[in-house]
Amino acid sequence: MKPAVIISAHDLHKTYRMGRVGVPVLRGVSLDVAPRECLAVLGASGSGKSTLLHLLGGLDRPDPGRGAISYNGRPLGGMSAHKLDRYRASEVGFVFQFYHLLPELNVMQNVLISAMVLLGRTGFARRGSALRRSAEELLDRFGLAQRLRHRPAELSGGERQRVAIARALINEPALLLADEPTGNLDQKTGASILDALMQLRADRGLTMILVTHDASTAARADRTVRLVDGVLEPAPALQGAAQ
Amino acid sequence: MYQALLTRRYLFSKIMPLLASAAVMLCTAMVIVVWSVMGGFLVMLLNSGKSMIGDVSITWPVQGIPHYQDLVARLEADPAVDAATPTIETLGLLGLPSTDLKPVTVVGVEPEGYHRVTGYRDRLWWRPLEEPLARDAERADPRLESPEMAGWLEDGARLAESDGSAGLRPAVALGIQVTEYNNERTPEGFFRTRYYDMPEREVTLSVLPLSRRGVAIEAAARRFPVANEFHSGLYQVDAEWVVVPLESLQQMLRMDSARKLDPVDDVPRIERDPETGREVLIPPEGGELSPARATTVLVKAAPGVAAAALRDRCKEIYAEFRALHKDAPPAEQHGLIFTWEEKPGLKVFISAVKKETSLVLVLFSFISITAVFLIFAIFWSMISEKTRDIGVLRAVGASRAGVAWLFVRYGLVIGIVGSLAGAALAFVIVTNINPIHEWLGSALGLWVWDPRVYYFDVIPNKVDPVRAGIVVCSGIASSALGALIPALRAAFMDPVRALRFE
């Protein structure tokens, strides 16, 4: 019996145009991810890992008529722009390799910005206190309780990534999409970030899709697939788990 | 919500938005200052023109209007008329105490009636003053606590001064700048006399009576004491006008009441005085009585009556008057009755000033459009710089409209800050424009406002709140307009490319 699926992709194709030339990045990617599962997508630079993550997160769309993604059975392709915005705000949390914090905002504001986008003025005003407490708890858990008023420029790489994770989780999404979350960190810091992610995943029952070029990072996942030339292959060490 | 937070942060984190605000501020201030000064100039011109000649003038130069007393009585009996008064206006020569001769405009008036129509008494300069002018911190104004001021004011108001016995001697009032060599205007706004107080001096006034055909008769000259000086604010009036009692001027111009004599039949007789035995000249008794004349009747409208409506009513009243007095100028005579705006010369001048105001405003508005392009350029470059932020916002669920609103709102805030600061700056400049001008003149020799060109001795210094509001709103709208296209560019940016932007 097939397990329940939170997000599935079927025969995804994505081609980028470089002038008049089309460069295919994904060439028929299909995958199913179960709730609470942690899937690692392993691949070399330029293999299309980030593109796959962007498609799954609703930031980008596959080539017209060439592939479909559904979240909890609802096809993303059929969603209006407004619904897709809501999907990204409430169901998905993004973590990027280069953190992508807003430099003008302090740590607390960077975390709360996602909640502001989701709830709007009145919603945020109503739930502002609870959200601030929630943000403080998350940041405290990441050892950043004393850095709430600091700007990103005043933080180390590991601290910035923790802030980015807190931002991704403040709206309590069901799906966390992490794009090389340790790719810009030293081994020790990267390991601690992964520990934090895994702990959060366990505590909150998160589904996580982790793209990485590092096999040791991928090894922390429940299941690993390899993206080669725009096509998913089972990872050698986890042959049976891959599709 | 997030737009408000980011707008606040963006505004104070970079120098460029502050420069954009400064550009909007300067443009707003520039347009408000220009509009206030030029618009204020026009308003001052209109008010002064109106106050010097009333709402409507009935004018018949040279020959004058006979039976003007009846015309004034008929006019004042009409509900559309608040007051009416006769005057005579002619050219003359003024012999000053300095022995200089100065060409002047001589205006004969009945002081009471002239005050009711034009507020003449309120313009008399030398009067008791209890509180100093706003800028006279040192209380240097000679009108303060000066015992002779009350007498000068009374003399100026009645155009006469006591001759030492029980009688009154006709006197004149000069425009305060007729004797520019003597009356020095201080930066504090009052006049200080250099050599002597004019109200204690005498002047000689010479005028040239004209026959009914406009031929000059023998010149008449008469010495008058100076009762007071007046300050209308209209440079031309203050520098050239001399106000004299109507009766005195009528006598000098031979426009007073007299009998018409036949040069052949109506000759004087010589008779011997039975008491003294001397021969005396007896004037002829015959001849028709020729009434006194005035060249102009000034009419002030009753409250709520427009000048044009009053002019039409005056034409009707004059037609009735003319039906009774056949020796008066014909009612259908072109240019006999006109409103203050239609006065020959003034109409063309007002029209020119209106056009000049519009032209200057349009030119400065065009210059202000540069602020729109400046904001456009700043936002365009800022959005390039903030590309990754835009990608992040889209990744956390911000809509295209939300991103566009972030930058339009940012433009609006820059516009609001800049425009309000510009309005405040303009208010400070306009309300202090005269001291600023005096400082520029004394420190740098830069005298921009020549009262001989602009008629008034002070630069208009009032900001019209409605006009300022229009300029502020335009500044805000322009800023939002400048931000709009870059904001749309941000909204339609591909979020994936934005996130990959380096």
Give residue A99's pLDDT.
84
Q: Do B396 and A94 touch (CB under 8 A)?
A: yes
**Residue of B2, B9, B388 to mutate, testing the A interface (most A Cβ within 10 Å of its Cβ):** B2
Give residue A47's pLDDT.
84
* Interface ipTM: 0.88
- Give the minimum alpha-carbon distance from A85 to chain B in angstroms, rounded to a whole number: 5
Q: Do B397 and A117 touch (CB under 8 A)?
A: yes
Q: In sequence order, what are the beta bridge partners of A31?
A: A9
pLDDT digit string, tens, across residues B184-201: 877 777 888 888 888 878
At residue B380's C-alpha, the angle toward residues B375 and B382, to 5°, is 90
Q: Do B389 and A90 touch (CB under 8 A)?
A: no
Torsion of CA A150, A156, A161, A165, to 10 degrees: -40
Q: Which helix (H) or strand (E) holds B81?
A: strand B81-95
What average pLDDT does range B17-24 have in this prediction? Answer: 86
Give residue B25's pLDDT.
92
Residues in A 110-139 with any Cβ partner in B closer than 8 A: 113-114, 116-121, 124-125
Tokens of A188: 């020790």
Q: To the nearest whole number, what is the mean pLDDT of chain A? A: 86
pLDDT at A238 over 60: no
What average pLDDT does range A159-164 have in this prediction? Answer: 90
Q: Do A59 and B6 touch (CB under 8 A)?
A: no
> With 0-12 CB in 10 A as exposed, 13-18 as middle and 19+ as buried, what is A186?
exposed
B63: number of Cβ within 10 Å: 17
Contact B466, B15 (CB under 8 A): no
**Cα distance between residue A201 and residue A190, in whole Å:** 16
pLDDT digit string, tens, across residues B435-492: 888 888 778 877 777 665 666 667 888 888 998 999 999 889 888 888 899 999 999 9
Identify which of B1, B395, B399 has the shortest CB distance to residue A116: B1
What average pLDDT does range B194-221 have in this prediction? Answer: 85
The pLDDT confidence band at residue B66, using thresholds 50, 70 and 90, is very high
A137: number of Cβ within 10 Å: 12
Contact A206, A33 (CB under 8 A): no
Give residue A239's pLDDT.
41
Instruction: Using the structure block, give the residue that is written with the tokens 């023998």.
Output: B218
Chain A CB contacts of B1 below 8 Å:
116-117, 119-121, 124-125
pLDDT at B269 over 80: no
Give residue B451's pLDDT.
61
**Cα distance between residue A229 and residue B8, in whole Å:** 46
**Cα distance between residue A88 and residue A71, in whole Å:** 11
pLDDT digit string, tens, across residues A115-135: 999 988 888 888 888 989 999
CA distances from A57 to A94, A122, B122, B364 (A): 8, 26, 81, 51
A152: number of Cβ within 10 Å: 19
pLDDT at A241 over 50: no
Identify which of A86, A87, A109 has the shortest CB distance to residue B5: A109
Higher local confidence (pLDDT), B350 or B432: B432
Give residue B49's pLDDT.
63
**Cα distance between residue A44 and residue A212, in whole Å:** 8
pLDDT digit string, tens, across residues A209-225: 999 888 888 888 889 99
Chain A CB contacts of B9 below 8 Å:
104-105, 109
Give residue B345's pLDDT.
66
The pLDDT confidence band at residue B76, using thresholds 50, 70 and 90, is very high
